[in-house]
Amino acid sequence: MSERAEAWRAASAAVADMAVKACRDDAGDTHWPSVVAALGVLTGEAALIACERELPVQGPVLSQKANALFYDETESPATLSGYLRQAMIQGMGMPPAAAPDPVHALRRVVASVGAKPFPPLPPDPAHWPRFWPLNAGPRLRRNAHAVMASHGLKRHEAMFALNGALVAGILRARASMPLTAAAMVGLEAMAAALRWAPQIEEALEEDLAYRPAGAPPVTLLSTEQLWGGLGGPEFEEAGGDPALSGENDQDATPKRAFGRRRG
């Protein structure tokens, strides 16, 4: 394995571990649909940030560049969904007909933009994330980008390493939920993050729509709790990636962990 490939693998594994640690309920049990959704959002956000230098403060986004990066008709592994499908088919032995369909995922996501819930909920309540998936951004992106920076990965390299973390999360989730369902949760979360400006702050009121009645909540751990358990670097020590973090912005504030905002 080349040095660069090893950096990708290590970064993907570290971010997958972070999501597994973060997405636990009050009993301390990992909630796998939440893990997969969080990793999908982190991947989609990174793709949108890599493609667009200016984003609205909040709300829907239409980026042709990000759409092309998500999917093309050839299902090329150079696209995010093509990479995910190939990992499912070649790496996990999933029949092609059972592999997640990016066109179906994108149609469901697009149809739900501006509605509630967005992203759309999986058909089976057992596979619902227990928080609004887009809240994974403000809670986890800073840590995820720090991991990427600590391995020397920027922009598109970081984006595909995050996609690798999603694949790792799906693989680990299959002991608790069907592989096809886990892959579709991750793919739809990724597609949603490509269609929505990355959250600057958590929208906690949105979490309620993502929890079946009577189900215990999943609360994402704080930065300090995560790094305390994982032994990871602080963001500043890792030297955050300006292309992802927006640190080249003259008016950047601690709340802005990515590119310029219109508003």
Which tens digit of pLDDT belongs to each residue from 144-190? 999 999 999 988 899 999 999 999 999 999 999 999 999 999 999 99
Please check the confidence at residue 32 and state whether its pLDDT lies above 70.
yes
- Among residues 223, 226, 245, the alpha carbon closest in space to that of 46 is found at 245
pTM of the model: 0.83
Give domain limits for the chain.
Answer: 3-255
Give the single-character DSSP code of 126.
Answer: G
How many residues are there in the chain? 263
Predicted confidence (pLDDT) per residue in 119-143, tens digit: 998 999 899 998 899 999 998 998 9
**Are 28 and 13 within 8 A, CB to CB?**
no
Q: Is 13 within 8 Å of 168 (Cβ atoms)?
A: yes
How does pLDDT run across 102-117, given as a tens digit for each residue? Answer: 999 999 999 999 888 8
